[in-house]
Amino acid sequence: MPSVEEREILTRVGPGTPVGTMMREYWIPAAMSSEFVADAPPVRLMLLGEKLVGFRNSAGVPGIMDQQCPHRCASLFFGRNEAGGLRCAYHGWKFEVDGTCIEMPNVPPHLAHPEKVRARAYPCVERNGLIWTYMGTRAVPPPLPAFETVLMPKAEMRIFFVQRSCNWLQALEGDIDTSHFGFLHAGLVAADDAPEGHTARFALANRAPEYHVADTDWGTMYAAYRDGDPGMTYWRFAHYLFPFWTMPPDGEFKKHVVARAWVPMDDTHTMFVHLSWTQNAQGMRSLRGGRPMIGASMGNTYLPNEPDWYGRWRLAANASNDYQIDRETQRSGSFSGIEGIHLQDQAMTESMGGIVDHDAEHLVVSDHMIARTRRRILLAARACSEANVTPPGVDHPEVFHGARSGDFMSSNSLGWLEAYGNEVRASANPAGVLRSAG
């Protein structure tokens, strides 16, 4: 269990905090490309506890900057996005996407000095439907991320965002907790209900797997294992990747390409960013005979976006309506009574509170991956903030090429890392970068 000091480090992300400092070393997925429209009004963004505005100039170039105008600190959200820049509504000062002030129309020309003023702006790059920003201190940002999912052609990617009202870490930890599948998502499903030949039957027959957990170049990984067919072991591999990414195991390993970001908006709000291959092998969504698995839908129903700081990508089913839980369905057909795998997870992590009280936890062996990951984050954050040690993967994003998640069976004669390496080498490689970690 983390100490009080460690809990503060793990959960706080604002400027000057250890984890916030570490995260600012990486490129961050800030928005969908579709959210920024040329010459349209700016969009409020909350990232790592900072209030920002995003916009797209007349040439289609995206920009993200501090919401306060550097003149008198009025909000640039009320500005006019026009003719190649964002103009403050208060006195008309105008800024390019990089923060350069180009006009001071309320100052006599011979006294104006726009070249001496800059709005605080962060570098932006647009790739495959996402706008990325770098919030660190480097004059030259590090290389862009190199996950399989962000390197595939845009037409082969599925992207969606969902906001969660809780701390980033407790949201992320749901993705590295494999044993909850047999309860929250499939607690009333028997092994014999699994489609014929589907490996999920082993997870349903034994809902208390054993684990291997290890540090990796990209973060941490676990292998949950159970008996499979005679002479075989059934594996579910998943990863935590710096600084806030996961690869969950919900699909056949060879055809499962996914990465999920848990981007901290602030200490108590998180933006979930899902990236996956359109040809992904999905986990179990239906039962034997093609019957639907109650509660297993993947779609999201959103509230209309609003212009406030927390107004983007909110689900219609939320804490205010108890996630639209159906108690009758819970009694007879769904363990949770909540419709949708993502919503089931969201209800659980939000129900812990804005920041979970770690003193109230009682971690057990099935939480080994969570404890290991917390320790890995703590060590990297302290090294970055106290000794200026570059965190994993910042300068060498190719280390992430060794990570792939999913389930499979292998011979009992193979060790877990050997089985993993063999499966990586035999997998589909749509981005052309997947490689065995050795």
The share of the chain scoring above pLDDT 70, in percent, equals 99
Contact 62, 122 (CB under 8 A): no
Contact 312, 305 (CB under 8 A): yes
Tokens of 411: 């011979």
Residue holding tokens 């800024």?
A: 95
Q: Output phi, psi for 52, to 5 deg.
A: -130, 165
3-state helix, strand, coil in the chain (%, to 5): 30, 25, 45
Mean pLDDT score of the chain: 94
**Lowest mean per-residue pLDDT among 41-45, 274-278, 279-283, 310-314:** 279-283
Confidence band (pLDDT; 50, 70, 90) for 380? very high
pLDDT at residue 228 above 90? yes
List, for residues 112-125, the tens digit of each pLDDT value. Answer: 998 999 999 999 99
Contact 349, 170 (CB under 8 A): yes
**Lowest mean per-residue pLDDT among 8-12, 48-52, 195-199, 420-424:** 195-199
Confidence band (pLDDT; 50, 70, 90) for 150? confident
Give me the amino acid identity at 256: H
pLDDT at residue 326 above 50? yes
What per-residue confidence (pLDDT) applies to 437?
A: 56
pLDDT at residue 377 above 60? yes
Tokens of 351: 């129900």
Confidence band (pLDDT; 50, 70, 90) for 358? very high
Q: Write down all domains in the chain, each with its CATH number in brackets.
A: 27-141 (2.102.10.10), 150-425 (3.90.380)
Output 372 or 280, whichever has higher pLDDT. 372
The share of the chain scoring above pLDDT 90, in percent, equals 87
What per-residue confidence (pLDDT) applies to 288?
A: 82
Confidence band (pLDDT; 50, 70, 90) for 292? confident
Provide the CA 343 distance to its chain's centre, in angstroms. Answer: 15
What per-residue confidence (pLDDT) applies to 438?
A: 46
What per-residue confidence (pLDDT) applies to 345?
A: 96
What per-residue confidence (pLDDT) applies to 125?
A: 96
What per-residue confidence (pLDDT) applies to 431?
A: 87
Confidence band (pLDDT; 50, 70, 90) for 195? confident
Tokens of 340: 């949708």
Tokens of 29: 């997925």
The string of DSSP letters for 313-332 reads S-BSSSGGGGGG--HHHHHH
What per-residue confidence (pLDDT) applies to 1?
A: 64
What per-residue confidence (pLDDT) applies to 299?
A: 79
Radius of gyration in angstroms for the set of CA atoms belonging to the chain, rounded to a whole number: 23
Residues in the chain: 438
Torsion 160-307-267-344 (CA) sign: negative
Give the ranges where 79-159 is alpha helix by DSSP (H): 148-151
Mean pLDDT value of segment 193-208: 90
What per-residue confidence (pLDDT) applies to 290?
A: 77
pLDDT at residue 97 above 50? yes
pLDDT at residue 221 above 80? yes
What per-residue confidence (pLDDT) applies to 350?
A: 98
